[in-house]
A and B are shown apart, each in its own frame.
Chain A
């Protein structure tokens, strides 16, 4: 097992970091048992003086090198400052800081600081995060129109592309509002028959004979708002209807205006809680109501509104039972709509969402047609879906011996003699270098430059996306490979030249892990084809060694080493998916939540559905903070 990147320094600290329990036991005599109090106390009593003694001279007001602890000290537990603390630790570890000619911390002080950085998460109070009413994103909005009115979801295509999940901005601008109104018009044109023509199915269902207008408006609002509407909310719709009637409009026209009002209402465009009717102000933290929970779950797994079964459970008040939630997760994941989890989350996680638009050198890689890009995307999608559907262990992502191919993408594997036709099907590989995300063409292509592979990018990708480590950007002014001393590099291969990075301590910290991984995958070219020689004709040397004497000679062996990191993979995927499910970046307290979830998932053999269920039943998913 090799330790994660920012913790490469001494064995002592690596041990302390890798195992929080050791630390607690060692310091048991003086540390309060509640880890939160302990972390706060350590910060005030030890970390602050440590910073004052060794760092403040340059990194307070002076902000030397742009680094200051001024802000981080005010709210040390905030996730905003996690990278500052981690960078500080790795600089301390690599002895880059404090500078040689300054006073140096004692080994005990170094260990104290390192231990405190691991315990950072305990600085935050228990908090589900503010679940601010959330606007449906472009995909969700289109799908909801489809489920509500049978409208073509492509009607939403004119909306601007926007991030989803953790990076979702949830903002609304006048321009967007205007587009919603325009789309409402298009939807109604598409689903309502023109005056004098027989009514469409939607119209008939809305105007079932004998129903009062209030009944119609109520049932419409129930579906469109994804919760029972209040009396007042129905009144507004009736007023809109009356407005049209008073202007001499026909019944169908008045109904059209009512529908339009529904489609531009905040209750439709946003996921809103049922109106709070009590006289007492809301407590600071409340559980989500059943309908809000149904929506959150449905938009997470399906990117659309809750279906009848989910709605009925919410109406019956049965959804907050964790067992009921888990049963719904299983049911929903078996439904084809769950491909939304890949399109919204999986594709982003694996980076293949960029495939369609990424630039490739057309002269060098004429194969990268839209058809191939789509096949690459579908391969990743079906592979992901297989792991979800079959509830496989997470290491399958790395170790699988199968994938889904059609002839187009099989050509990249050199398997187009056996896999023919355009239909995707499951294929088992005999070549153990293939299989899993590290041998998957779409992913190998997204981590390449337009005209060649990038071992560094691939290494960073594996560390960040697979193992969940934060790789700091290269410091400015690092000489690129080409700039290295000509004499020094004469006669060296690209690999040997890159390895020169590792002789410089500043670079070595990261590159001694990045480079072996990246070069271990060099047998795959920039679009994922196998090759034995690079473009210059030199034989590719895929052997390498990772810290901890872990040697490998093939991509297959590299995968095997990485697959042993199941705890890191699990934690990483849990963090990323939780952030996606919550539509916000993770905050301080979430780290404790992730700890707990990871334990549950591990106990069940790191299975994919267990991970998803654990997220859905977690505290931040089922609760919300009402104040900002």
Chain B
């Protein structure tokens, strides 16, 4: 069974191998996934344009826990669950120096520059979250969860680069940018569909049990169509085939969950959740359009998805590099225009407050994860949550010390409560090390990576 070999697994290959008779091997995988130890989850959350360095980096390792810098105030109480490292360099932007904001997001999880020869296409690299999804995504109803606050429709083509680079950070293959979900209602529905949590009858799955067999037939027809298409069309149709197969797999997973839930309610003990685990958190969809409410619900949904093991990989583009304002903070200026502050006090102040605002939403998620029991510890103990930006200083577009916060112990693989100042490494090193901490074997370095950062553990 190729799925169980101890090597990085390409989801596409494995799905092709499985073909139509999915139900059985899938359940077997599910069974293998239920190890005694809770699984490690990986989450990423993004803010563009960098930070005001003096307001973000702690004054020193000794004062990190006792008097954190102003941007980290909201993390008080969980700073001992976090790790900060200064000295992680971003990707050298040449030959795309004129497109800093297209690069900051698209290189963030790829640590790779877009292909310079085919820059007007999406052609970059599979992103770290998707490498993780290919591996640990096989154990859950959703391989990964991609969220965003803004629709991914920005149009700009600096340096001739494709506009998708401005609003996407997840790439399922070098040429496919993954769309992110912006509607919390849709996300909630998906989580509930996967879970049969019982408390929301209206959201319970009502679909036809013949759906999976029907999809099999449609898939067969699509393969016929494929043989009659030109080469370029075939490539596009493969995306369809992969998506339908993934959907079948998900339905199978949901069926398995439902069967398990039925067993549990009939008095047969479920192996899935241990008695000490917390009950799923309630998630309220906000009515207004307050940005903080909106971002918080997206964070809550991530917590819920991790808590219920609906997925083990999430990416949240909290903000994109263009046209975003924070009227809630009492000013209407756009984030980007303020980051070119030239050290002017008023703008510096605004950038700092925007940073604190974004980190506060991340902190909300971390506090929540820390408060939820799981197994012998907390949910956060089994997570690796990374918050960060693809630029260091938005004013000068520098990338020498990218701002990152890592929260959670990754099931014991990360030693938190520290601020490391002596690190030398790059974005690819960091991503690769985090994946390793999550138990994901890599068959090649991520982007510009050259090594593992041993100081994490």
Binding site for B on A (CB under 8 A): 63, 65-68, 70-71, 74-75, 78-84, 130, 132-133, 158, 160-163, 167, 169-179, 181-182, 185, 232-233, 236, 239-240, 243-244, 247, 249, 256-257, 260-261, 264-267, 269-270, 272-273, 275-277, 282, 348, 354, 358-362, 449-451, 472-473, 476-477, 479-480, 482-483, 585, 625-628
Identify 22 residue pairs between A and B in the complex whose beta-carbon atoms are under 8 Å apart, listed by A's number. A63-B95, A66-B98, A82-B160, A132-B235, A133-B229, A133-B233, A160-B151, A161-B152, A162-B152, A163-B155, A169-B177, A171-B176, A232-B224, A247-B210, A257-B214, A275-B225, A362-B332, A450-B334, A476-B97, A480-B344, A585-B162, A625-B232
Q: Which residues of B contact A158 (CB under 8 A)?
A: 183, 185-186
A266 near B177: Cβ-Cβ < 8 Å: no
1/0 per residue, CB under 8 A from A, across B404-440: the answer is 0000000000000000000000000000000000000
1/0 per residue, CB under 8 A from A, across B222-244: the answer is 10110011111101110110111
Separation of A69 and B390 alpha carbons in the complex (Å): 26
B98 near A133: Cβ-Cβ < 8 Å: no
Task: Give the distance to chain B from A303, nearest Cβ to Cβ, in Å.
Answer: 16
Separation of A473 and B101 alpha carbons in the complex (Å): 12
Task: Give the distance to chain A from B287, nearest Cβ to Cβ, in Å.
Answer: 16
Interface-located stretch among B48-56, B104-112, B117-125, B295-303 = B117-125
B160 near A360: Cβ-Cβ < 8 Å: no
From B162, B178, B217, give the contact of A240 (CB < 8 A). Answer: B217
Q: Which residues of A contact B224 (CB under 8 A)?
A: 232-233, 236, 275
Q: Which residues of B contact A270 (CB under 8 A)?
A: 236-237, 240
1/0 per residue, CB under 8 A from A, across B145-176: the answer is 01000011101011110111000000010001
Separation of A473 and B100 alpha carbons in the complex (Å): 11
A68 near B231: Cβ-Cβ < 8 Å: no
Q: Which residues of B contact A266 (CB under 8 A)?
A: 222, 225, 237, 240
Separation of A177 and B244 alpha carbons in the complex (Å): 7
Separation of A628 and B164 alpha carbons in the complex (Å): 20
User: A173-B172, A179-B186 are contacts. A80–B160 as well, Cβ < 8 Å?
Assistant: yes
A236 near B221: Cβ-Cβ < 8 Å: yes
Residue B246, interface by CB 8 Å: yes
B333 near A451: Cβ-Cβ < 8 Å: yes
Binding site for A on B (CB under 8 A): 93-98, 100, 116-120, 122, 142-143, 146, 151-153, 155, 157-160, 162-164, 172, 176-183, 185-186, 189-190, 206-208, 210-211, 213-215, 217-218, 220-222, 224-225, 228-233, 235-237, 239-240, 242-244, 246-247, 250, 323, 325, 327, 332-334, 337, 340, 342, 344, 396-397
From B218, B235, B244, give the contact of A628 (CB < 8 A). Answer: B235
User: A173-B243, A247-B210 are contacts. A79–B160 as well, Cβ < 8 Å?
Assistant: yes
User: A177-B243, A267-B225 are contacts. A257–B97 as well, Cβ < 8 Å?
Assistant: no
What residue in chain B is nearest A625 (Cβ atoms)?
Answer: B232
Q: Which residues of A contact B233 (CB under 8 A)?
A: 132-133, 272-273, 626
From B119, B239, B242, B333, give the contact of A450 (CB < 8 A). Answer: B333
User: A169-B179, A450-B325, A627-B230 are contacts. A261–B163 as well, Cβ < 8 Å?
Assistant: no
Task: Give the distance to chain B from A225, nearest Cβ to Cβ, in Å.
Answer: 10
A477 near B396: Cβ-Cβ < 8 Å: yes
User: A173-B179, A483-B342 are contacts. A628–B160 as well, Cβ < 8 Å?
Assistant: no
A162 near B244: Cβ-Cβ < 8 Å: no
What residue in chain B is nearest A359 (Cβ atoms)?
Answer: B325
From B153, B210, B229, B242, give the contact of A276 (CB < 8 A). Answer: B229
From A81, A174, A257, A450, give the contact of B246 (CB < 8 A). Answer: A174
Q: Which residues of B contact A479 (CB under 8 A)?
A: 342
B217 near A239: Cβ-Cβ < 8 Å: yes
Q: Which residues of B contact A233 (CB under 8 A)?
A: 221, 224-225
What residue in chain B is nearest A264 (Cβ atoms)?
Answer: B218
Separation of A603 and B276 alpha carbons in the complex (Å): 79
B155 near A167: Cβ-Cβ < 8 Å: yes
Q: Which residues of A contact B211 (CB under 8 A)?
A: 181, 260
User: A266-B240, A625-B232 are contacts. A169–B122 as well, Cβ < 8 Å?
Assistant: yes
Task: Give the distance to chain A from B340, nearest Cβ to Cβ, in Å.
Answer: 6
A449 near B337: Cβ-Cβ < 8 Å: yes
B243 near A174: Cβ-Cβ < 8 Å: yes
Q: Which residues of B contact A473 (CB under 8 A)?
A: 98, 158
Separation of A240 and B208 alpha carbons in the complex (Å): 13
What residue in chain B is nearest A232 (Cβ atoms)?
Answer: B224
Separation of A334 and B172 alpha carbons in the complex (Å): 43
Separation of A173 and B239 alpha carbons in the complex (Å): 7
Inter-chain pairs besides A66-B93, A67-B97, 19 sampled, C-beta below 8 Å: A78-B120, A80-B119, A80-B120, A83-B160, A162-B152, A167-B153, A172-B240, A175-B181, A175-B190, A181-B211, A247-B210, A261-B218, A264-B244, A275-B225, A359-B334, A360-B332, A361-B332, A476-B100, A628-B231
Separation of A185 and B205 alpha carbons in the complex (Å): 11
A626 near B230: Cβ-Cβ < 8 Å: yes
Among B178, B229, B233, B237: residue with most chain A CB under 10 A: B233
What residue in chain A is nearest B250 (Cβ atoms)?
Answer: A178
B152 near A160: Cβ-Cβ < 8 Å: yes
Q: Which residues of B contact A476 (CB under 8 A)?
A: 97, 100, 396-397
What residue in chain B is nearest A239 (Cβ atoms)?
Answer: B217
Separation of A221 and B151 alpha carbons in the complex (Å): 33
Among A162, A240, A243: residue with most chain B CB under 10 A: A240
Q: Which residues of A contact B100 (CB under 8 A)?
A: 476
User: 3 closest Cβ contacts across the A-B interface?
Assistant: A66-B97, A626-B230, A161-B151
A264 near B215: Cβ-Cβ < 8 Å: yes
Among B151, B153, B323: residue with most chain A CB under 10 A: B153
Task: Give the distance to chain A from B213, nearest Cβ to Cβ, in Å.
Answer: 6
Separation of A348 and B246 alpha carbons in the complex (Å): 34
Q: Which residues of B contact A178 (CB under 8 A)?
A: 190, 247, 250
B190 near A169: Cβ-Cβ < 8 Å: no
Q: Which residues of B contact A83 (CB under 8 A)?
A: 157, 159-160
From B228, B250, B323, give the contact of A275 (CB < 8 A). Answer: B228
B153 near A163: Cβ-Cβ < 8 Å: yes
Q: Which residues of A contact B164 (CB under 8 A)?
A: 167, 169
B207 near A185: Cβ-Cβ < 8 Å: yes
A181 near B232: Cβ-Cβ < 8 Å: no
Task: Give the distance to chain B from A538, nearest Cβ to Cβ, in Å.
Answer: 22
Q: Which residues of B contact A74 (CB under 8 A)?
A: 117
A67 near B95: Cβ-Cβ < 8 Å: yes
Separation of A483 and B376 alpha carbons in the complex (Å): 56
Separation of A232 and B228 alpha carbons in the complex (Å): 12
Separation of A418 and B115 alpha carbons in the complex (Å): 58
Task: Give the distance to chain A from B232, nearest Cβ to Cβ, in Å.
Answer: 4
User: A66-B93, A178-B190 are contacts. A260–B98 as well, Cβ < 8 Å?
Assistant: no
A163 near B163: Cβ-Cβ < 8 Å: yes
User: A243-B214, A244-B210 are contacts. A171–B179 as well, Cβ < 8 Å?
Assistant: yes
From A130, A163, A265, give the contact of B232 (CB < 8 A). Answer: A130
User: A451-B333, A625-B232 are contacts. A174–B159 as well, Cβ < 8 Å?
Assistant: no
Separation of A496 and B430 alpha carbons in the complex (Å): 49
User: A167-B153, A272-B225 are contacts. A282–B230 as well, Cβ < 8 Å?
Assistant: yes
Q: Which residues of B contact A173 (CB under 8 A)?
A: 172, 176, 178-179, 243
Separation of A253 and B122 alpha carbons in the complex (Å): 42
What residue in chain B is nearest A161 (Cβ atoms)?
Answer: B151
Separation of A282 and B237 alpha carbons in the complex (Å): 17
Q: Which residues of B contact A348 (CB under 8 A)?
A: 155
Separation of A130 and B231 alpha carbons in the complex (Å): 10
From A71, A169, A480, give the contact of B117 (CB < 8 A). Answer: A71
User: A68-B95, A173-B178 are contacts. A243–B217 as well, Cβ < 8 Å?
Assistant: yes
Separation of A449 and B335 alpha carbons in the complex (Å): 12
Q: Which residues of B contact A78 (CB under 8 A)?
A: 117, 120
What residue in chain A is nearest B179 (Cβ atoms)?
Answer: A160
Separation of A82 and B157 alpha carbons in the complex (Å): 12
Q: Which residues of B contact A261 (CB under 8 A)?
A: 214, 217-218
User: A67-B97, A71-B117, A450-B333 are contacts. A177–B247 as well, Cβ < 8 Å?
Assistant: yes
